[in-house]
Chain A
């Protein structure tokens, strides 16, 4: 059974058809990419699958269970972690708190424990902190644990966001333009980090990207989206030479 299966997903914003008949199959441990020009509906597809919007038509199944109608936090607790195009870190919280926060659904205590600071709460907080520190070490940001995220260099913020997403214990990780605004050196680092996450955690990864080179290097299979419709799907080499993709990105050769 595939890990994630999306069938015939269509979505309208009012009269505007943002996504049309989108299909996706992600097998465990796979890295898949979604490319397309600006406004093609890539982020909308992410938001539909992660529960921020509910699709007008179609099915979304994670390990055979439907995700339609679930709230974003429920989708996330079922194993669908994500990062955001513009990171959306919490500016008044420090790095450690970010990664602890993402383990919210794994907290095994109730409100009363939180009110009265019971031993159970302390046990859980210690466990969550240990886990958070482990992740911070793994992403090489442990030295910033007590810093506010806003004071970190851009690359470190990206790594914090990644650590935060991994703290939700995802089975699939959705990365929304993980290299947006990065320098070429940071880009190389990011490729390393994604490979490492893929290897260490064994998660499947589904990523949106602008930079073709990055996608070509990482992904086993790529979908190309234009105006809400998939125009091409296949391994990187095939996509690269697909005339439709070239046309979508570079425009049609004008003979006349």
Chain B
């Protein structure tokens, strides 16, 4: 700072604007390369670095938890984050901008799917290495990805079709319980259902089927909300969907064969990181395809004006049924994954608390937007973990943040934005 004092405005302006224009030229693949470098640095040097900086161990969540617990460690945690994440990310991003752009241009000319797969593999490698540091990170990542699925699937109903549906925890519960029941009966020796019917070695291969089964059950349950939606909208449908959630919860509480209020445990540990990642990607891809097609745009037409949609040959009933079942399907799949991540579910999990969480994520991130859902799910999830040391105050800070977002961006952070993969992955000159 001292050295630039002689001509502060000019040199600072020059530096920052050059940095900004430099960063603007980094394509997504360049950022991914930077991210890969950062997590590699942490993987190999993290322990040593945290020792020299006087940190008890590698800060798990970008140093936030450490900072809030022990304010004296703020400088060293900040230094750690800058050294391990910021510098490699920016440096590699800037330095490889040229080749990365050429690579992106090459991929851009080739098939889109190839480019997308390469990006996804890079992304997966990053999160895999990052989560290798601790089990806590692994769990957090899985739950975040499940939250992305939930947020996106509720966005289809609440955002794209504009119904206020509160039944998502119910759909999730249906999926979680159906998928768990299937895996427990068929592949596990457990207290509730006795010995496995099929050899457990087959299990991991049939796990997707169990998840799809969970999704289908949830989709069938969604009919209970979809059919009233032909005749009623808005507040009344919200009440119906809320009732649905409570019905599901109390039905499960009273079903003794799935454990009743005690819940259901000992699910096999099949929701590993790659499985959850693949399902999340699949969910984002399918939902994005759907909402961008003309058939999916019918959701918006029904939301903005149902009478006009009907007069323009849109089958509004079919659209509503499809939307509810489609949203519920993905919520069910997410529920199945969730049950196999925690390896224990009880009906209490799928109550009003869960609903508040999901709604907060979708409205924070932004309605009618795939990117918004991802941003909302990731930020609310990470925030609530990072602010954990604040204990009670966490539930003041996060709602306050939500209120602020609602004041300044009433439809959420990134609302009404199309998610065009081709545009995102393109080279930036």
Interface residues of A (CB under 8 A from B): 50, 52, 71-73, 76-77, 81-82, 84, 88-93, 97, 100-107, 109, 111, 113-117, 121, 125, 128, 164-165, 167-168
**Given A89-B305, A92-B300, A115-B289, does the pair A82, B311 have CB atoms closer than 8 Å?**
yes
Residue of B nearest to A122 (CB): B293
B298 touches A50 (CB 8 A): no
Minimum distance in angstroms from A172 CB to a CB of chain B: 13
A115 touches B314 (CB 8 A): no
**Given A88-B307, A101-B294, A125-B294, does the pair A76, B416 have CB atoms closer than 8 Å?**
no
Q: What chain B residues lie within 8 Å of A109 (beta carbons)?
A: 295
**Given A114-B293, A114-B295, A164-B312, does the pair A90, B300 have CB atoms closer than 8 Å?**
yes
B305 contact from A76, A90, A117, A128, Cβ within 8 A: A90
B300 touches A93 (CB 8 A): yes
B297 touches A101 (CB 8 A): yes
Q: A76-B310, A88-B308, A97-B294 are in contact. List 18 more A-B contacts (CB 8 A).
A: A71-B310, A71-B317, A72-B307, A76-B312, A88-B305, A89-B304, A90-B308, A92-B300, A93-B297, A100-B294, A100-B297, A102-B312, A105-B314, A113-B293, A114-B289, A114-B295, A116-B289, A117-B289
Q: What chain B residues lie within 8 Å of A81 (beta carbons)?
A: 311
A73 touches B313 (CB 8 A): yes
Residue of A nearest to B316 (CB): A73
| CB of B315 closer than 8 Å to a CB of A | yes
Q: What chain B residues lie within 8 Å of A111 (beta carbons)?
A: 295, 322
Contact string against A for B residues 329-363, beta-carbon threshold 8 Å, 1 for contact and 0 otherwise: 00000000000000000000000000000000000
| CB of B38 closer than 8 Å to a CB of A | no
Residue of B nearest to A129 (CB): B294
- Which chain B residues numbered 275 to 326 have a C-beta less than 8 Å away from chain A? 286, 289-290, 293-298, 300-301, 303-305, 307-317, 322
| CB of B368 closer than 8 Å to a CB of A | yes
- Which chain B residues numbered 368 to 408 have a C-beta less than 8 Å away from chain A? 368
B314 contact from A93, A97, A101, Cβ within 8 A: A101
B304 touches A101 (CB 8 A): no
CB-CB nearest 4 A-B residue pairs = A90-B304, A105-B313, A88-B308, A72-B310
Cα separation A81 to B310 with both chains bound (whole Å): 11
Minimum distance in angstroms from B294 CB to a CB of chain A: 5
Interface residues of B (CB under 8 A from A): 286, 289-290, 293-298, 300-301, 303-305, 307-317, 322, 368, 416
Cα separation A126 to B213 with both chains bound (whole Å): 35
A103 touches B294 (CB 8 A): yes
Q: What chain A residues lie within 8 Å of B310 (beta carbons)?
A: 52, 71-73, 76
B314 touches A121 (CB 8 A): no
Q: What chain B residues lie within 8 Å of A73 (beta carbons)?
A: 309-316
A104 touches B312 (CB 8 A): yes
A101 touches B301 (CB 8 A): yes
Q: What chain A residues lie within 8 Å of B308 (beta carbons)?
A: 84, 88-90
Q: What chain B residues lie within 8 Å of A113 (beta carbons)?
A: 293
Q: What chain B residues lie within 8 Å of A125 (beta carbons)?
A: 293-294
Cα separation A115 to B330 with both chains bound (whole Å): 12
Minimum distance in angstroms from B420 CB to a CB of chain A: 12
Q: What chain A residues lie within 8 Å of B307 (beta carbons)?
A: 52, 72, 84, 88
**Given A88-B305, A104-B314, A164-B312, does the pair A97, B295 have CB atoms closer than 8 Å?**
no
Q: What chain A residues lie within 8 Å of B301 (beta carbons)?
A: 90, 93, 101
B295 touches A104 (CB 8 A): yes
Residue of A nearest to B317 (CB): A71
Cα separation A103 to B312 with both chains bound (whole Å): 8
B286 touches A92 (CB 8 A): no
B298 contact from A76, A88, A101, Cβ within 8 A: A101
Q: What chain B residues lie within 8 Å of A90 (beta carbons)?
A: 300-301, 304-305, 308-309
Minimum distance in angstroms from A146 CB to a CB of chain B: 11
Cα separation A135 to B61 with both chains bound (whole Å): 54
Cα separation A161 to B296 with both chains bound (whole Å): 20
Cα separation A107 to B296 with both chains bound (whole Å): 12
B311 touches A84 (CB 8 A): yes
Cα separation A114 to B309 with both chains bound (whole Å): 19
Q: What chain B residues lie within 8 Å of A76 (beta carbons)?
A: 310-313
Residue of B nearest to A90 (CB): B304
Residue of A nearest to B295 (CB): A114
B286 touches A77 (CB 8 A): no
Q: What chain A residues lie within 8 Å of B314 (beta carbons)?
A: 73, 101, 104-105
Minimum distance in angstroms from A27 CB to a CB of chain B: 23
Cα separation A68 to B3 with both chains bound (whole Å): 85
Residue of A nearest to B305 (CB): A88
Q: What chain B residues lie within 8 Å of A115 (beta carbons)?
A: 286, 289-290
Q: Counting chain A CB atoms within 10 Å of each CB, which of B294, B322, B368 scores highest?
A: B294
Cα separation A105 to B300 with both chains bound (whole Å): 16
Residue of A nearest to B298 (CB): A104
**Given A73-B313, A115-B289, A164-B312, does the pair A104, B294 have CB atoms closer than 8 Å?**
yes
**Given A90-B301, A92-B368, A93-B301, does the pair A77, B294 have CB atoms closer than 8 Å?**
no
Q: What chain A residues lie within 8 Å of B312 (beta carbons)?
A: 73, 76, 101-102, 104, 164-165, 167-168
Minimum distance in angstroms from A71 CB to a CB of chain B: 7
Q: What chain A residues lie within 8 Å of B304 (beta carbons)?
A: 89-93
10 A/B residue pairs, CB under 8 Å, sorted by A: A82-B311, A89-B305, A90-B301, A91-B304, A101-B312, A109-B295, A114-B295, A115-B289, A116-B289, A117-B293
A114 touches B290 (CB 8 A): yes
Q: What chain B residues lie within 8 Å of A167 (beta carbons)?
A: 312
